[in-house]
Structure 1
Amino acid sequence: MTASHLPQKPDFAALEAAAPESADRRTTVLSLIGSLVFNWSNNESLFIYVLMLLLKVDQASAAIVFATLNTTRARLDLIQRLARIRIKDKTLSKELNGLIDRFNDGTHIRNELNHCMYTVDSAGAISHTQSMRLVQTRNALRFGEVKPLDDVRIHEMSDAVREMARINREIWDFLPRLEAHLRSGG
């Protein structure tokens, strides 16, 4: 009989017994993930209004175009292409590109945390993440990168949440200026 390639099944009874000891840490991790997803989703949705202004359509039409494109990357590509032909003010254009670049940076950590497997240690604490992406090198194909979910990573997650909140406020500030520019024939 061959050895299994599967990971060892967790001792769920032991994990459940140990879980109260690590509840605060787990709550912190889950709260950060939830906050990141919440802020990211709100930011992505605000780009519907950017698209609405660039296309000169109503909100429902912009939402239809937005939803028809099945990836965030495709949606933002469309916005950037439209911006190139519609926004004449270089400062405004640069600001939009900066917002999109910063949003994309946050997308990386959001994707990482949404598309991974979480490892729980014997004390019930979330200790590691394993990416669900295949990593191909010249000589091998391996299953996702394993990263510790330590204090450094918690700090990175907190920074990402704060940055997504800043981006949200900046998009709200940007929208009326974009609207005024486009109304003026920009």
Structure 2
Amino acid sequence: MTPGATTEPFDDLLVLIGRLTYVWTNTESLLIHLIAGLSRTDKETATVIFLTLNTTRARVDLVERLAKLDRTPDAERKRVLDLTHEFSKLAALRNHYAHSIYSFDEEKGEVRTIMMRIADRKQDIRVGKTRAIDAEAIAEIEDNIARIASLNMRFWGIIRAFSYPV
């Protein structure tokens, strides 16, 4: 980037991605309370379990499997599974921005993501899929942030309703 070049759109995007990351990690950490409650352990032990599992998918899988145990009442199971299902759906957009690098064209002011993932095809591989960050993408990120924040409140509702360790 040239000295003095304006990066306002890019800076605004980075702030938005920071907010997305914050609401995501804040909400994901609430899985600790679900692990504690469903496994009938304390928060400290659940934290160790949570941190030992190094992906969101593994943590959600654990919560879902615990919820599916026969000892979990149907109403509790349904609320937990509905919550984890919605949480998992929201992961796609967060993963896209967390696993991309960003390209900023100073001349045009355009921002793009470049996926840092290999797409295996039958006969070849594809790398570096790009996506423009336009008004639609910004609106999608903002909507996702609001949906995750709302989900956070639902997590707390379940934690309180079933007296999971806090």
Q: Answer yes or no: same fold by TM over 0.5.
A: yes
Q: Does 1:71 align with 2:55?
A: yes
TM, length-normalised to structure 2 = 0.90
Rg larger for:
1
Cα distance in 2 for residues equivalent to 1:28 and 1:122: 14
Cα distance in 2 for residues equivalent to 1:126 and 1:113: 16
Cα distance in 1 for residues equivalent to 2:145 and 2:13: 12
Unaligned runs of 5+ in 1: 1-11, 181-186
Higher helix share: 1
**Equivalence for 1:146:** 130
1:92–1:178 CA contact under 8 A, matched in 2: yes
**Equivalence for 2:97:** 113
Cα-to-partner distance string for 1:35-90 (whole Å, 9 max, x where unaligned): 1111110111101001111111111111011111121111111111111113222x
**Equivalence for 1:5:** none
**Equivalence for 1:59:** 43
Cα distance in 2 for residues equivalent to 1:163 and 1:120: 28
Q: CA deviation at 1:124?
A: 7.5
Q: Does 1:103 align with 2:87?
A: yes
**Equivalence for 1:88:** 73
Identity of counterpart residues, as a percentage?
A: 31
**Equivalence for 1:48:** 32
Off by >2 Å, runs of 4+ in structure 1 = 25-28, 122-126
Unaligned runs of 5+ in 2: none
Moved more, 25-34 or 140-149: 25-34
How many residue pairs are counted as aligned between the two chains? 163
2:112–2:131 CA contact under 8 A, matched in 1: yes
Aligned partner of 1:81: which letter? R
Cα distance in 2 for residues equivalent to 1:98 and 1:83: 11
Cα distance in 1 for residues equivalent to 2:49 and 2:110: 39
**Equivalence for 1:37:** 21
Q: CA-atom RMSD, angstroms?
A: 1.7
Cα distance in 2 for residues equivalent to 1:37 and 1:168: 13
TM, length-normalised to structure 1 = 0.81
**SS of residue paired to 1:138:** coil
Cα-to-partner distance string for 1:115-134 (whole Å, 9 max, x where unaligned): 11101112474511010011
**Equivalence for 2:149:** 165
Moved more, 121-130 or 153-162: 121-130
